[in-house]
Structures are given as C-alpha cells and as structure tokens.
Amino acid sequence: MENKNQFAFGRRNYLLMIVGLVVLGIGFIIMTLDKEPYGEGFLGITLGPIFLVIGFIIEFFAILVKDRKKV
C-alpha cells in the first residue's frame, strides 16, 4: 500500500531547489546593481546572467536527482 503523506521529492531535492532559488535571486539582484544606463555594464550583461544560468541548472538538477532514501 502506498503512503499518501509522502512528498514528491526528498530532502536533498528541496535543499537543491532552495539553493537554486537563492542563486537566481542573487543573479537578479546583481543585474539591478549595474550603474550603466539600461543595465548595459558588466554586472547587467555578464555577471548577472551567469548567475541566472547557474541557478537554472541547479533547479534542473534538483528536479531530476533521485533522493537516496527514495531509491
């Protein structure tokens, strides 16, 4: 019989999701700190988007990784 109170993901997945969201938030904050007009400086065009891509990659793996206890 299946337990109806189980979550879809394990603890490891949720921790990775939180880390990914924090990295995404940092990326958006970095992009707003750019002092150039329209955010066309190093922070708005290079560093912020790098953090965003890393954050989305972390979120992707957070969804796909299997929790050790669930296997």
32 part of a folded domain:
yes
1 part of a folded domain:
no
Angle 11-32/48-64 helices, nearest 10 degrees?
A: 170
pLDDT value for 9: 87
- For 25, the domain range is 11-64
Answer yes or no: are the C-beta atoms of 11 and 65 closer than 8 Å.
no
Q: pLDDT tens digits, the chain, 71 residues: what are they?
A: 556 667 788 899 999 999 999 999 999 999 999 999 988 999 999 999 999 999 999 999 999 998 776 55
pLDDT value for 69: 65
- What's the burial of 42, exposed, middle or buried (CB within 10 Å: 0-12/13-18/19+)? exposed
Answer yes or no: are the C-beta atoms of 24 and 55 closer than 8 Å.
yes
The tokens of 5 are what?
């109170």
4 part of a folded domain:
no
3 part of a folded domain:
no
Task: Report the number of distinct structural domains present in the chain.
Answer: 1
pTM of this structure: 0.84
pLDDT value for 39: 87
pLDDT value for 67: 72
Answer yes or no: are the C-beta atoms of 68 and 10 closer than 8 Å.
yes
